[in-house]
Structure 1
Amino acid sequence: MSKLLRAVASCVLLTAAQLAHAVPSAGWTTSDGYAYGTSLDFDGAGQLAANTLITNQFQAQGVTFSGSVRANACGYGAWSAYGMPMNSLGTYGPDCSNNAQEDSFAIRFDGTVSKLALDAFLDDRQGTASFDLYLKGQLVSSFSLSALAYGDLAWNTTINVDNRYFSNGPYGRAGILRVDGALFDEIRFAENLASGSAGFLFFDNLRFDAAREVPEPASLGLIALGLAGISALRRKPGATRQA
């Protein structure tokens, strides 16, 4: 096999190994020094009117929304103490009413994403909220928000760092929510509320990395078969080169 064929084969095997061993992870933290490729604070559209339903207002930044996600339902800058100044998005009821309906929404990206973080405040005292990662319409991984670990904050603790509150307790979590180790182009969030219960998620400062596009597993198999065929032809007795 020529050096070129060996190099291509190595790339195919490496990509397949990366796909096979990628382990999606998610969790809460109080700090995140990573430099993401894209950062969206939702303020580029100017001050959004309270209860604005969010759809394609940030399409130019590569992100669209669908479902029950609104801007500033509790007022402009209402969540500044939790690292979410000015515009923030969430599932709180219109006019900051206690949300007793089962909300869900999706965030869709123009391309594939490999890493994501956002500042968030979650009320999930029933432990039912979840989010799913999708790639090209196929489910990649599912997470229970109440089951996610808070890596650097003890249970039932609230702290203030540089005038920002972080919390890890039975009635809510506030901090930085991170997702890593998976390729996806859509996140679907659901509260899954029981009858008569309430819950919400507020978030801001969405940042993410665009992933390098890789062949799908079926394509990798075709490439490997093609390489094997070329190699067999080169080894075939009596094979001659054409001028």
Structure 2
Amino acid sequence: MAGYFGTQRQQDLQAQAEKNVDLIKATPGACQNGRMIGVDDLDALGWDRIDEFLARDGVCGFRLIPAHRAGEIGVRLAERNCRFDTWDLFLADRTSALDACEPILAAGLPDGLSDLDQPTDPEGDDTARIQALIAEAGVVPFSGSFLVGACGPAVTMAVGDQNGEIVAAAHGYMPHNAHSPYPGHGWGGLVAVAGSQQGKGLGKYINARVLVGVLRDLGATHVYELISATNLPSRRMAESCGLRHEPGLVCGIAAPTESGKFTR
């Protein structure tokens, strides 16, 4: 497994995420964040294990945690010289997402653009170009192995122009193991659109395409996305695809207090 991309720190975490695949599948309370190990059940995993991951990786993800426990997480992380960067959760059940997304796909793409095949080679040129586009959008990419599904079921969608350039991309996968309170919840994200193609509805289109892939190809019962409170275009994009803000759950990343935000 390979196809690492980004800074050395980002690549090191991508490599560690690949090593964690079997551990995450087998461990109650753990979930797959793609770039790092994650937690979706604080009580099942426990703070001793979270401390281990923070000591080893310097970061740890939190997914679908009851919002009333965010304060507890913040306090415990502060004791460890870490902070808790959070994103709002946008969520939809299968029917709501498909009812919103399928008409978007049926409307098709602007002239000169076409859907591309999903990448299959972790180190292939198409995979690297997708990673580069995602990075240009200010988002830390996943490894090539994650993008092509070598680390578990996943979908990576892309749109190309007449010149063979990749102008939009997004990714989705199933983060939660069989022990999770949310085993059927799939994640969509890493949405990126080339600057030259913005304003054409490509973000909404590629987002809809990846969510439909997570639901139909991966069998998810629900889909969710993580969006910052200030990212109004992405919030509108998610809502157009049938997702709604779920204030009862919170997602985030624990990172050293003195570090910058891990991703957009």
Would you say same fold, with TM above 0.5?
no
Q: For the pair shown, which has the larger CA radius of gyration, 1 or 2?
A: 1
Relative to its length, the structure with more helix (as a share) is 2
**TM-score normalised to the size of structure 1?**
0.28
**TM-score normalised to the size of structure 2?**
0.26
